[in-house]
Amino acid sequence: MPDSTEQTVLNEDTSGLLEQDASPEPNALEETAAPVDTLPGPEELPEQDTAPDASGEAPELAGSEDPEGEAEQAPVAEKPKIPLDKPTTPIADWLQAGIGANTLRVLALVLMLGDHLWATLVPGNDWLTFLGRMAFPIFAFQVSEGYFHTKDLKKYIQRLFLFALVSEIPFDLMMASTPFFPFHQNVLFTLLLGLLAADSLWKARTDPGLLQSLQAALVLLLCCMGAGIGATDYGIPGVLTVVLFTVFRGFRWAWVAQAVGMWLLHGVLMGGQQIILVLHFFIIEFPVQGLAVMALLPIWLYNGEKGSKSGKLLQWGSYLFYPGHMLLLYLLFRLR
């Protein structure tokens, strides 16, 4: 279970900043997509002393109450079939192959860039924003993965907060053509709040108790209020997306919860623009944000590994890419 010194990554639709560390630990939030150790197996029973005593007879085995002298073994707890430190990746498990964290990060960055191009320079190309709906869930998943791999959660949180502040002016310029727009905050704040809520809820899950549960509920409420009142990008559904990928970790049917949760959060709660399909006498309306569910396909292909060796360079490049590309798009928008 992650301690309060460990946990990341990001996006808006959004910024892919997955944390990685060379030697991951199963509890923390910075994304090192390196594999982590599984839970320890069941403890072995201690060996019984069967050496003869002074009378020349072998002593009775511990726990043997049988009149025939047969020893009864103490029950041994079964090892969980799905370790808590393993993300839910059904497609990768089925194919026995998949994609690494760096590939997943680059995919999210490309999808985010396409969505932002649609919002600034090429607004008529709706397919860019349709595909761009997948970016934020991938970043949210990477933040959840980072939580379990980071070596220092406190530093991870500080870094995410720092880049959220740095990115706010470029975000305001791109979204509202002004350096100060208090009515909409960038997605890094959403990911940060999601990380804090996920940390508290994971501790409540792995160390259950009334006090821990009440504290987790309070933290979740405060984080959701912060996203709602602060008008962060993706808002409360964004915070809950990070939580979704964290709290169901290790459950056999977690992929079902992820699919249902993603649809409820993005297809129902967020709503927004609709895609209208006319089929003969039937008219079907489908929410554009509901396309975010498609992000589960590459997420479920994740193989739990970092991928390329340039992890640190890509990690910091991702942090810088978020504010950098928004500032560049704003300048190009003004110059055209």
pLDDT digits (tens, 9 = 90+) for 40-85: 433 333 344 444 444 444 444 344 444 444 445 545 444 344 455 5
Q: How far is CA 75 from the centre of its chain?
A: 36
* Domain boundary assignment for the chain: 90-335
- Return the amino acid letter for 261: G
Residue 124 φ/ψ, nearest 5 degrees = -80, -15
Give the model's confidence band at 197: pLDDT under 50 very low, under 70 low, under 90 confident, else very high.
very high
Q: What is the pLDDT of residues 201-231, one digit of tens each?
A: 999 999 889 999 999 999 999 999 999 999 9
pLDDT, tens digit, for every residue of 277-299? 888 778 888 899 999 999 999 99
Question: For the chain, what is the radius of gyration of the CA atoms?
Answer: 24
Report residue 86's pLDDT band, with 50, 70 and 90 as the boundaries: low
pTM over 0.85: no
Q: How far apart are CA 173 and CA 192, in angstroms?
A: 21
Distance CA(81)–CA(64), nearest Å, equals: 31
What is the 8-class DSSP label of residue 60? P
Residue 31 backbone dihedrals phi, psi, to 5 degrees: -85, 105
d(CA 211, CA 200): 12
Cβ neighbours of residue 153 closer than 8 Å, sequence gap 6 or more: 2, 3, 4, 5, 6, 7, 28, 29, 30, 147, 199
Block residue for tokens 């709660």: 269
User: What are the residue ranges of helices labelled H in the chain?
Assistant: 90-95, 101-120, 126-132, 135-149, 153-176, 187-206, 210-229, 235-247, 254-262, 296-299, 311-335
Tokens for 222?
A: 């405060």
Interval 151-176 mean pLDDT:
96
